[in-house]
Structure 1
Amino acid sequence: MDSMTLLETHDLTRHFDGIRAVDGVDLSLRQGEIHALIGPNGAGKTTLVSLLSGRIRAQSGRILFQGRDITAMPAHRRVRLGIAYTFQITQIYRALTVFDNVALAVQWQRPANAAAMVMEALERVGLQAERDAIAGTLSYGHQRLLELAMGLALNPRLLILDEPTQGLAESEIARFDAIVRSVVPQATVLLIEHNMDVVMRLAQRITVLDLGRVLATGTPEEIRANRAVQAAYLGE
């Protein structure tokens, strides 16, 4: 394992009723990079990140995090290692306050300065003024930002963001860009995103999935120029 590699997979596979959702994927995430994962609907993106986060189990292959085999490790233990995953569909506690949502995210750490950690995370996403609001009353875009704050409060080594700009206004997307850039190089970001403008602005490297397999990995410029990617996904 390269000293610059944070997470890698080897021949990672997960099938569902004969459908090859993830089919022998080799993926490498470097420390301190923003790495985008793109592909058409049904390419296997969400299944892959569910495997990385431990929400579902692999049928075969390996996942290494900082050189440690975590393939069989449950999700809650991966969180403690520093893997945080925000979901494609907002996962918040709608009946609780904004503050309490973030506090619950960090409670397992039992930090002495929990309240300060919560407020720092809310400030990073611009929700400090909403701390006492009931989460379910927030706009959809603000709920997505709250979910991001919950991930940031964990101080992750790897932050996995699944369709984070879905439902965000342009002004909120600009804030999101700034937030993601502030995470690196202390952490690595894996960004699953359909908004190609966001992907091309933020990502240092991009991996393209198609039918459960890696079609290409490279810089934004290399991905734009890749004819197989153009045919399968970019429509050029």
Structure 2
Amino acid sequence: MAEVTLLTTRGLCRDFDGLRAVDDVDFTLETGEIHAIIGPNGAGKSTFVSLLSGRLRPTAGRVIFDGRDVTRLPAHARVRLGIAYTFQITNIYTSMSVAENIALAAQSRLSPGLFGRGGVGPRITEATQAAARAVGLTERLNARAGDLAYGHQRLLEIAMGLALSPRLLILDEPTQGLSDAEIAGVTEVVRQLASRATILLIEHNMDVVMALARRITVLDRGAILAQGTPEEIVADPAVQAAYLGDGA
């Protein structure tokens, strides 16, 4: 089956006070894949995905999603088109329940500003339950989010992304700070989610990257150093020198 391009960037750049954090990046993401972005600290990974999600505006270049130029669209408009971005630092409402957190995300998609009106309430409930089920949080829907173990908080964040019914789900360091057992659980959840959405994964844990990614892009100093299959990336001398060889 021929690959279908979901997202591309052309000449994408972002400057901060004269420092170029993302440097002329041409990138392609195919529908249905798990694509990992790796690189040393400060390589521009989070800045790059913030440009994709609309949290930041590029200094130059274009972002094309499903054939549409979304370069100037803000984040909330991109969410409506199907781009969801879960943050590197857990972004949940700790005083609210798991269900309430997920429902807020579902509301923003199904009925922004009109929670529960016009017969939308049952649809929000259905979306909340489906997202919780997908990440294994059904038994914790009534729990206070702030009382969850850190690993379950990361799963809640993923569930909130899923409640947006994304075509593209961007996961920024989903296993950061987790135990080995928690990492295994999150890895399996992400693998299962690939049947529902295209996954763009920013991750330092190379065991997780190798277990999940079909293709990998390596960023270094804001530019693409290499792109390819996991096997090609591991064997690339430039990647070894810049990243893999330093024990990261």
TM-score range (shorter-chain normalised) is over 0.9
- Find the counterpart in structure 2 of residue 183 from structure 1: 193
Alignment of 1:61-76 (within 5 A): 61-76=61-76
Work out which of the residue numbers 132, 137, 144 in structure 2 matches 1:122: 132
- Find the counterpart in structure 2 of residue 148 from structure 1: 158
- Find the counterpart in structure 2 of residue 231 from structure 1: 241
Equivalent residues of 1:125, 1:175 under 8 A apart: no
**Secondary structure, counterpart of 1:214 in structure 2:** strand
Q: Report the CA distance between 1:134 and its aligned residue.
A: 1.3
**Secondary structure, counterpart of 2:243 in structure 1:** helix
Equivalent residues of 1:5, 1:28 under 8 A apart: yes
Deviations 1:9-55 (A, max 9, x none): 00000011121100101110000000000000000000000000000
Q: Which deviates more from structure 2 when the two are superposed, residues 114-123 or residues 66-75?
A: 114-123
Q: Report the CA distance between 1:3 and its aligned residue.
A: 6.4
Cα distance in 2 between the residues matched to 1:3 and 1:195? 27
- Find the counterpart in structure 1 of residue 117 from structure 2: none
Cα distance in 1 between the residues matched to 2:127 and 2:54? 25
Cα distance in 2 between the residues matched to 1:125 and 1:186? 12
Cα distance in 2 between the residues matched to 1:173 and 1:224? 21
* Match status 1:80 vs 2:90: no
- Find the counterpart in structure 1 of residue 175 from structure 2: 165
**Secondary structure, counterpart of 2:227 in structure 1:** strand
- Find the counterpart in structure 1 of residue 184 from structure 2: 174
Deviations 1:162-187 (A, max 9, x none): 00001222222222222212222442
Alignment of 1:89-100 (within 5 A): 89-100=89-100
Cα distance in 2 between the residues matched to 1:133 and 1:184? 27
**Secondary structure, counterpart of 2:58 in structure 1:** coil
Cα distance in 2 between the residues matched to 1:183 and 1:145? 12
**Secondary structure, counterpart of 2:29 in structure 1:** strand
Identity %: 63
Cα distance in 1 between the residues matched to 2:236 and 2:3? 28
Q: Which amino acid aligns with 1:194?
A: H
- Find the counterpart in structure 2 of residue 33 from structure 1: 33
Q: TM-score, normalised by structure 2?
A: 0.91
Q: Which amino acid aligns with 2:17?
A: D
Work out which of the residue numbers 208, 227, 241 in structure 2 matches 1:217: 227
Equivalenced residue count is 235
TM-align CA RMSD: 1.4
Q: Report the CA distance between 1:195 and its aligned residue.
A: 0.3
Q: TM-score, normalised by structure 1?
A: 0.96
**Secondary structure, counterpart of 1:167 in structure 2:** coil
Where do 4+ consecutive residues of structure 1 move more than 6 Å? Answer: none
Q: Which amino acid aligns with 1:47?
A: T
**Secondary structure, counterpart of 1:191 in structure 2:** strand
Equivalent residues of 1:88, 1:164 under 8 A apart: yes
Unaligned runs of 5+ in 1: none
Cα distance in 1 between the residues matched to 2:123 and 2:152? 25
Cα distance in 2 between the residues matched to 1:113 and 1:179? 23
Cα distance in 2 between the residues matched to 1:71 and 1:219? 28
Q: Report the CA distance between 1:124 and its aligned residue.
A: 1.7
Unaligned runs of 5+ in 2: 112-119
Equivalent residues of 1:117, 1:153 under 8 A apart: yes
